[in-house]
């Protein structure tokens, strides 16, 4: 049995940064994101009688990435065993390719585990609802739970495996303009950075408390289709995340001087009436949100800082082939 799935990255407007349960990947607070329409990951999973293999972007993946893939496939084998399927004993040949940059703050782990969850569940013959697929993807990389969802997603933090999943929400149409100032892999992974922040940053509890409040405000702003409020909440929240991260010991810095220059440029855009707001994940690249009609003007203003990509809301993870 074999299946191929495709998934897109997502960029959070309300960020996930901190776990309540490291093994189950239950976050300490909920989050909210837009799924992108570019930079897809396409992953095929074919069952074999041997051990698991993992090829990423045309080459055999390193031992760490392969071990993480096998650990994830073990979860799928557990589900197959619970369903009484003999695929529970099978190995898998996983072949994955990213259309966007890998591990540089453009959420390749989100699209990667969303595509892997979708393809693997089908290849192993495990039937899962979209909520169950979101929960499964979460175990690979927390933010992957949101890449199952079309357009805009809220990930409910929950307090257990069963209650921590993403689902769709409606939000006004918007564009994202990403500025890739550095496409090489980041020095501190999200996983390590989150643990260090929780264990050493004195502002961690305040960050979690404010994220809970911001998510509620964001959901209200989305329901009211209030783009200005969504933008303001997004930008303030991103700065708070980088502040709590910066306060770790030893300090962690994901933003680069160019990132700060882009934040300045976005402030200047607003002062001249171009309504744009900026955010950044665990890396130096900046993502600017704006109304769809303003995307070309925003892109023109920041083109000098790096590679520009413009995104619309995109589709959740889906199967593209089953054999
Ligand atoms: O899912 P992870 O472990 O790659 O963490 C994602 C962390 C951020 O991208 C910084 C925030 C988010 O909510 O996507």
Q: How much is the pTM?
A: 0.96
Ligand 1 pocket test, candidate residues 16, 30, 285, most atoms within 8 A of CB: 16
Task: Give the contacts of 281 (CB within 8 A, at least 6 positions apart).
Answer: 11, 12, 15, 105, 106, 107, 190, 254, 287
Strand order from edge to edge, sheet including 307-311: 276-279, 286-290, 175-180, 307-311
Q: In this model, does residue 191 exceed pLDDT 60?
A: yes
Query: Chain-wide mean pLDDT for the chain?
Result: 96
Ligand 1 centre distance from Cα of residue 13 (Å)? 11
* Ligand 1: centre distance to CA 168 (Å): 18
Extended beta strands in the chain, E state: 2-7, 10-14, 19-21, 26-27, 31-35, 41-48, 53-56, 59-60, 91-98, 152-156, 165-168, 175-180, 276-279, 286-290, 307-311, 318-322
- For ligand 1, pick from 9, 22, 190 the residue to mutate: most ligand atoms within 8 Å of CB: 190
CA of 194 to the centre of ligand 1 (A): 9
Ligand 1 atom at minimal distance to the Cα of residue 16: 13
pLDDT of 310 over the 90 cut: yes
DSSP letters spanning 138-198: HHH-GGGGGGGSSSEEEEE--SSGGG-EEEE------EEEEEES--SPPSS-HHHHHHHHH
Residue that the structure tokens 């303009």 belong to: 177
Ligand 1 pocket mutation pick from 8, 14, 15, 32 by most atoms within 8 angstroms of CB: 15
- What's the first-to-final CA gap in the chain, in angstroms? 6
Q: What is the pLDDT of residues 37-83, one digit of tens each?
A: 999 999 999 999 999 999 999 999 999 999 999 999 999 999 999 99
pLDDT value for 108: 78
At 184, the pLDDT band (50, 70, 90 cuts) reads confident
Cα–ligand 1 centroid distance for 75 (angstroms): 21
Testing ligand 1's pocket by substitution, the residue of 107, 214, 286 carrying the most ligand atoms inside 8 A of its CB is 107
Alpha-carbon span 282 to 292, nearest angstrom? 25
Closest by alpha carbon to 74, among 54, 92, 59, 56? 92
> pLDDT at position 105, please?
52
Q: Which residues line ligand 1 (CB under 6 A)?
A: 12, 15-17, 31, 109-110, 141-143, 190-191, 281-282
Of 321, 270, 318, 261, the closest CA to residue 298 belongs to 270
Longest dimension (CA), the chain: 63
Contacts of 194 (CB under 8 A, 6+ apart): 17, 18, 19
Cα distance between residue 75 and residue 95, in whole Å: 18
Q: Is it the case that residue 170 has pLDDT exceeding 70?
A: yes
> What is the DSSP code (8-state) at residue 317?
P
Atom of ligand 1 nearest to the CA of 142: 1
Percent of the chain topping pLDDT 90: 94
Q: What is the pLDDT of residue 186?
A: 76
- pLDDT tens track for 215-229: 999 999 999 999 999
- Give the position, in ligand 1's atom list, of the atom nearest the Cα of 15: 13
pLDDT at 101: 64
For residue 187, what pLDDT is reported? 83
Contact 104, 77 (CB under 8 A): no
Distance 213 CA to ligand 1 centre (A): 19
Confidence class of residue 250 from pLDDT cuts 50, 70 and 90?
Answer: very high
Question: Which atom number of ligand 1 is nearest to the Cα of residue 14?
Answer: 13
pLDDT digits (tens, 9 = 90+) for 83-141: 999 999 999 999 999 997 664 556 678 999 999 999 999 999 999 999 999 999 999 99
Which atom of ligand 1 is nearest the CA belonging to 144?
A: 1
> Which sign, positive or negative, has the C-alpha torsion 176, 182, 185, 188?
negative
pLDDT at 125: 98
């Amino acid at each position: 049995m074999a299946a191929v799935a495709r998934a897109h990255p997502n960029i959070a407007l309300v960020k996930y940064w901190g776990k309540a349960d490291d093994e189950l990947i239950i976050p300490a607070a909920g989050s909210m994101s837009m799924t992108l329409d570019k930079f897809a990951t396409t992953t095929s999973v074919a069952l074999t009688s041997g051990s698991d293999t993992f090829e990423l972007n045309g080459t055999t993946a390193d031992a760490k990435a392969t071990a993480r893939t096998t650990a994830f496939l073990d979860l799928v084998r557990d589900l197959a065993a619970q369903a009484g399927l003999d695929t529970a004993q099978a190995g898998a040949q996983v072949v994955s390719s990213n259309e966007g940059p890998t591990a540089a703050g453009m959420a390749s782990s989100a699209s990667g585990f969303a595509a892997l969850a979708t393809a693997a569940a089908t290849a192993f013959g495990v039937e899962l609802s979209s909520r169950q697929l979101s929960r499964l993807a979460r175990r690979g990389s927390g933010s992957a739970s949101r890449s199952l969802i079309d357009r805009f997603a809220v990930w409910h933090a929950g307090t257990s495996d069963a209650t921590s999943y993403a689902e769709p929400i409606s939000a006004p149409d918007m564009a994202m303009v990403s500025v890739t100032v550095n496409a090489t892999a980041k020095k501190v992974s999200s996983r390590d950075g989150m643990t260090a922040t929780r264990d050493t940053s004195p502002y961690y509890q305040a960050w979690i408390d404010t994220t809970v409040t911001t998510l509620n405000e964001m959901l209200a702003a989305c329901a009211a289709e209030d783009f200005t409020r969504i933008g303001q909440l997004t930008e303030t929240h991103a700065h708070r995340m980088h502040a709590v991260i910066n306060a770790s010991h030893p300090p962690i810095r994901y933003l680069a001087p160019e990132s700060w220059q882009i934040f300045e440029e976005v402030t200047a855009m607003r002062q001249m009436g171009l309504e744009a707001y900026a955010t950044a994940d665990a890396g130096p690249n900046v993502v600017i949100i704006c109304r769809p009609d303003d995307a070309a003007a925003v892109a023109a203003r920041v083109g000098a800082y790096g590679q520009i990509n413009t995104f619309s809301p995109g589709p959740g993870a889906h199967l593209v082939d089953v054999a």
